[in-house]
């Protein structure tokens, strides 16, 4: 078995100034839509580096070319049972750190075919409704407030 996943991850809400949100459909669960998400590669990996790596892997976008912001929002949740085999024995919860990435427009992205089937840019309300993850939906629902205060970028 590959090394166990670290139960600490990032969720990156990629959005445009007019609050269109990028969602990706999972390849391993068709119909499950989400923002970019992924676990740290190593325990000491800085969260901004985890964001950079995951966004690049999943979309081809370089966070250095856009506005990455730590939303200082942390969620702790129970890992779905069907994904627990990826973690060390006995690990049942994950800690998720939420970031925003503002891009200038709804740009084409290059998805990782082993991870995702397709992508869509949606108005934030529709994106929040489509997410299977409560924490992802909640983060997207915070986008208008964060953008208005300048904290979404």
User: Which of 104, 120, 7, 9 lies closest to 59, judged by CA?
Assistant: 120
Is residue 131 over pLDDT 70?
yes
Would you state the pLDDT for residue 3? 84
- Map out the domains of the chain with their CATH numbers: 8-149 (3.90.79.10)
Phi and psi based region of residue 98 (left: phi greater than 0; alpha: psi -120 to 50; beta: remaining):
beta
Would you state the pLDDT for residue 94? 95
Structure-token pair, residue 153: 């970028």
Q: How many residues does the chain have?
A: 153
Would you state the pLDDT for residue 152? 54
Would you state the pLDDT for residue 151? 58
pLDDT band of residue 59 (cuts 50, 70, 90) is very high
Average pLDDT over the chain reads: 94
Would you state the pLDDT for residue 37? 96
Is residue 14 over pLDDT 90?
yes
Would you state the pLDDT for residue 2? 66
User: Which of 73, 46, 59 lies closest to 151, judged by CA?
Assistant: 73
CA 8 to chain centre: 13
Is residue 129 over pLDDT 90?
yes
pLDDT tens readout for residues 61-108:
999 999 999 999 999 999 989 889 999 999 999 999 999 999 999 999
């Amino acid at each position: 078995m590959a090394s166990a996943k670290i139960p600490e991850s990032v969720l990156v809400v990629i959005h445009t100034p007019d609050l269109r949100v990028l969602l990706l459909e999972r390849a391993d669960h068709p119909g499950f839509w989400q923002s970019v998400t992924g676990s740290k590669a190593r325990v000491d990996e800085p969260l901004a580096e985890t964001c950079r790596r995951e966004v690049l892997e999943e979309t081809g976008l370089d966070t250095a070319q856009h506005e990455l912001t730590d939303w200082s929002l942390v969620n702790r949740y129970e890992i779905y049972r069907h994904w627990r085999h990826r973690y060390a024995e006995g690990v049942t919860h994950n800690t998720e750190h939420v970031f925003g990435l503002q891009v200038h427009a709804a740009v084409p992205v290059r998805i990782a075919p082993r991870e995702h089937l397709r992508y869509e840019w949606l108005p934030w309300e529709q994106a929040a409704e489509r997410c299977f993850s409560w924490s992802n939906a909640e983060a997207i629902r915070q986008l208008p407030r964060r953008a208005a205060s300048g904290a979404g970028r």
